[in-house]
Amino acid sequence: NIVGECNIQYALAPDSDQYVAIEINPRLSRSSALASKATGYPLAYMSAKIGLGYNLPELVNRITKNTTACFEPSLDYIVCKHPRWDFAKFELVNRRLGPTMKSVGEVMGIGRTFEESLQKAIRMLDIGNDGLVLNRSNGTTYTEEEIEDKLAHHDDMILYNVAIALKMGITINRIYQLSSIDPWFVEKIANIVKVESKIISSDLDSKMLWEAKKTGFSDRQIARAKEKSADEVRALRKKLGIIPAVKQIDTLAAEWPAVTNYLYMTYGGDSHDVESPKGNGIVVVGAGPYRIGSSVEFDWGTVNMVWGLQENGQKDITVVNCNPETVSTDYDICTRLYFEELTQERILDITEFENPRGVITCVGGQTANNLTPGLAERGVCILGTGADDVDRAENRSKFSSELDKLHIQQPLWEAFSDLAGAKVFAQKVGYPVIVRPSYVLSGAAMKVVWSQDELKKYVKNATDVSPDHPVVISKFMLDSLEVDVDGVCNGRQVVIGAIVEHIDSAGVHSGDAMMCIPPWRLNNRIMETINDYTRKIALTFNIHGPFNLQFLVHDSHVYVIELNIRASRSMPFVSKLVRTNLISLASRAILNMDLPDIPDDKWKKIQNYGIKVPQFSFMQLDGADIALGVEMQSTGEAACFGDSFYDALSKGLTSVGYNLPKSGTALVTVGGAPNKKKLVPTIAMLKDLGFEILATEHTAEFFEEKVGQIQIVHKISEPERKPNISDLLYERKIDFIINIPSTSTLEKYVGMLDDEYQIRRKALELGIPVLTTIELADSFVKTLEWLRENNTTREPLAPYYSDDPL
């Protein structure tokens, strides 16, 4: 007797018509959003109405506006949902797919054939592939035996491996036997492989191009096959009249008249379902799939940009995105929604059809931002900061040169395109150094390097990620504080949302670091310097829209790390705490309107603290190490507010799954004498709080001299010696662990004992909190002390707003 929405999962026998129900969920599920976006049928909306007492025949189809909602949607297109995995972020992870969910996001490709929708979905993933085949080669080759093994053991590359197997001549039936992928799907992949072969061997005439495009091939894939440029292929197909048709998602397969703004593009149609607008609209490019480094924060930016433009008089707004999990792909928030891939080719197709006054790329994270230079070069008007200014900020070599002109300090750096020069620089400044490619998000291929051998490895990785831009190598400054600033500029005025201090020291990616507003370790002189640098940089780069600046504070000196001329990951957090919607202000800046005259220190009047805490999914990723570094690994976040720093932090830690014990036992394993010295006050406080401290022999010997008795335990690699850490973990006799690797939060696999990794991994699997940075350990223990005498506040959001909003 279900009232509302329900989700039923079935198991189907592949060789008969038998099926069984696995489970029934009487609620909205992950697939509910997918089904709603795939069909245009708003399941959540209908469920809410049914919950209020309406019957289905009483409800109106929100797309047709004149038919009942009591019907099953009919489709004249095919939808392909593809998960997004980020295994490359985790060096020790098991990539094998199974009953445990490992994906961090998903996309939804829409086309008139399975082949078209699948290849579109692969491009939507934004993993560097242009489709199932004809991608940039990574130089890897396999034997037939190796491919058969990969077919039998699915990982994130299974579809590519099916295509490779077909090229090797392995039969469809054999692939089915090995992989259990239904022959129908293998035949469709075989069609893609066949068309690839035809593109390579045939002339690019009209017939060949039509077939290629209907099979989902992009201009870049075709160009790679024919050794041409994508622009040449685009010009040729347009000359031949081969352009995509704009089609509606109307829930009725065009069987009933419908006027809908929910659109997609396909080469499987003869005509457009809608007329080309007259122009003067604005296209807002979304952020694509959720992934490590780009999640709901950027969807918040996209949606709030749309709302801000509407509030400032711009009514004709088109959104382009491909993520079914987002608000920005709700067709009722904008004038027109294109559920489409975020590629240069497709954005050009859309702008040529829409004739907008301009395109906004600054709220869709790095995916949208990376499109800016290419679109501008091809005549698209970029609203907001100019493409040349974006390039000056994103190209790390150009950015560093601009800072030199402004006499703003930055870590020592040089740009390199070869390993020999990089080695000379690293030896000159001394290790560690940080390798930083251009135009990347979430620290992709960014590494702290401690030796020449590592440098050789990581310079290659960096150039693989960003092959068209130089790699910048900088001196990595140990024991530094990291600071973020989120702001808005219109080319004349600069609004600084807040100065946000990282609780973790530099070396932990900003997306993985805990953050605090207001700063609690920065003095007024440092904050004034940060404000001064922020204004100079924003005006020098002629920013029109949102921006984010990252700083290092080392020995009371302020250094600039990087400038992101786009909405940042921390903007929703800043906007909520300071009661100022920075994206709404950014919409005014993009429209060249004046900004409110807000003093730089206005945000200091906030009487409360806000803490942003990362959420990780290490449990789902077999083998992944939880030690943090400069490449982002968190999959979510929580923000909590409180009357004091520790009030907010205690709520933040609890919200992401930390247990905050009032008493118990702590295991301490610390690598390196410098780290041990820094932890002495923390361990002393733990002793004063009555916690029993366990440590391995050398660590126990060091701390006993400083804080008193420490109980010795033995390494996991010495199972015969008792008491053993492994036994104590499994017996639940340890409440939390302070585990600081010898390289701390820097390059986590250099000189790291396997014991350290084993402790972290076993503790994770047993749900025991592990603190892997000195700063986190110190804050955690001080929070335990604060909780002895205080209770956390429990207030709705409104009281935390200042009386005098920005």
Dist CA 323 CA 225 (whole Å): 29
Asked if residue 408 has pLDDT above 60, the reply is: yes
Average pLDDT over residues 117-142: 92
**Are 102 and 192 within one domain?**
yes
Q: Which domain-ending residue is among 217, 239, 261?
A: 239
- Per the model's pLDDT, the better-predicted residue between 97 and 28 turns out to be 97
Are 149 and 112 members of one domain? yes
Assign residue 458 the CATH number of its domain: 3.30.1490.20
Query: How high is the pLDDT of residue 800?
Result: 53
**Does the pLDDT of residue 805 top 50, yes or no?**
no
For residue range 751-794, what is the model confidence (pLDDT) as tens digits? 345 788 899 999 999 999 999 999 999 999 999 999 999 999 98
* 331 shares its domain with 253: yes
Burial of 169 (0-12, 13-18, 19+ CB in 10 A): exposed
Number of structural domains in the chain? 6
Q: Is there a cis peptide before residue 432, judged by omega within 30 degrees of 0?
A: yes
Render pLDDT for 579-613 as a digit per residue (tens, 0 to 9): 889 999 999 999 999 999 887 776 777 778 999 99
**What is the pLDDT of the chain when averaged over all its residues?**
90
The pLDDT, as a whole number, for residue 799 is: 56
Is residue 792 a contact partner of residue 647, using CB atoms and an 8 Å limit?
Answer: yes
pLDDT digits (tens, 9 = 90+) for 1-25: 888 889 999 999 988 899 999 999 8
pLDDT of residue 416 exceeding 90, the answer is no
> Does the pLDDT of residue 465 top 70, yes or no?
no
d(CA 417, CA 410): 21
Domain at 563, CATH number:
3.30.470.20
Assess whether 270 and 286 both reside in one domain: yes
Environment class of residue 191 by beta-carbon count within 10 Å: exposed (0-12), middle (13-18) or buried (19+)? Answer: middle
467 has a pLDDT exceeding 80: no
pLDDT band, residue 450 (cuts 50/70/90): confident
Same domain flag for 102 and 228: yes
| 249 and 362 part of one domain | yes
DSSP-derived secondary structure for 498-516: EEEEEEEETTS-TTTS-EE
Q: Averaged over 57-77, what is the pLDDT?
A: 84
At 373 the pLDDT is 92
In a domain, 575, yes or no: yes
Average pLDDT over residues 202-223: 97
99 within a domain of the structure (yes/no):
yes
Q: Please state the rounded mean pLDDT for residues 492-518.
A: 92
Give the range among 135-139, 188-192, 660-664 with minimum mean pLDDT. Answer: 135-139
- Whether 428 maps to a domain, the answer reads yes
Is-contact 442 509, C-beta < 8 A?
Answer: yes
Stated as kind and residue range, the H or E segment containing 648 is helix 645-655
CA distances from 804 to 576, 599, 604 (A): 14, 13, 11
pLDDT tens across 273-331, in order?
999 998 889 999 999 999 998 889 999 999 999 999 999 999 999 999 999 999 999 98
Residue closest to 293 by CA, chosen among 569, 503, 550, 501:
569
Range 328-350 burial, b when 16+ CB lie within 10 A, else e: bbbbebbbbbbbbbbbbbbbbbb
Give yes or no: residues 375 and 428 share one domain: no
CATH number at residue 349: 3.40.50.20
Q: Could you tell me the pLDDT band of residue 640, with boundaries at 50, 70 and 90?
A: very high
- Rounded distance between C-alpha atoms, residue 786 and residue 48, angstroms: 43
* Model pTM above 0.75: yes
806 confidence band (pLDDT: 50, 70, 90): very low
What is 597-633 written as a DSSP string?
---TTGGGG--SEEEEEEE--GGGSTT------SS--
- Average pLDDT in the 227-246 region? 97
Q: How confident is the model at residue 446 (pLDDT cuts 50, 70, 90)?
A: confident
Residue 457 in this model has a pLDDT that exceeds 80: no
Same domain, yes or no: 91 and 216? yes
Q: Domain range holding 363?
A: 245-380
Q: For the residues 243-254, what does the mean pLDDT come to?
A: 89
With bands split at pLDDT 50, 70 and 90, how would you rate the model's confidence at 468?
A: low
Q: 748: pLDDT confidence band, cut at 50, 70 and 90?
A: very low
Question: Do β-strands 609-615 and 636-642 pair in parallel, antiparallel, or remain unpaired?
Answer: antiparallel
**Cα 535 from Cα 493, distance rounded (Å):** 9
Is the preceding peptide bond at 518 cis, omega within 30 degrees of 0? yes
Q: How confident is the model at residue 71 (pLDDT cuts 50, 70, 90)?
A: confident
Query: Is the domain of 66 the same as that of 140?
Result: no
Structural contact between residues 474 and 434, judged by C-beta atoms closer than 8 angstroms: yes
Here the CATH number for the domain that contains residue 703 is 3.40.50.1380
Q: Which helix (H) or strand (E) holds 111?
A: strand 105-111
pLDDT of residue 572: 95
Token pair 């709220």 in the structure block, residue: 363
Residue 240's pLDDT band, with cuts at 50, 70 and 90, is: very high
Q: How many CA atoms lie within 13 A of 253 on its CB side?
A: 9
Task: Say if 137 falls within a structural domain.
Answer: yes
Q: Looking at residue 671, what is its pLDDT?
A: 83
Q: For residues 290 and 734, what is the distance between their CA atoms, to the nearest angstrom?
A: 35
Contact 61, 67 (CB under 8 A): yes
- pLDDT score, position 752: 43
Tell which of 207, 223, 239 closes a domain. Answer: 239
The tokens 């949302």 sit on which residue?
497
More confident residue, 348 or 657: 348
pLDDT band at 478 (very low <50, low <70, confident <90, very high): confident
The verdict on 560 and 576 lying in the same domain is yes
**Highest mean pLDDT: which of 36-45, 303-312, 517-526, 717-726?**
303-312
- Where are the strands (E) in 207-276, listed by range? 245-248, 262-266
pLDDT on residue 747: 46
| Residue 81 maps to a domain | no
Asked whether residue 648 is assigned to any structural domain, the reply reads: no
- Same domain (yes/no): 55, 11: yes
Query: For the ranges 126-130, 666-670, 689-693, 757-761, which has the lowest average pLDDT?
Result: 757-761
Structural domain includes residue 78 = no
Does residue 155 form part of some domain? Answer: yes
DSSP designation for 88: G
In this structure, are 117 and 137 located in the same domain? yes
Confidence of residue 422 (pLDDT cuts 50, 70, 90): confident
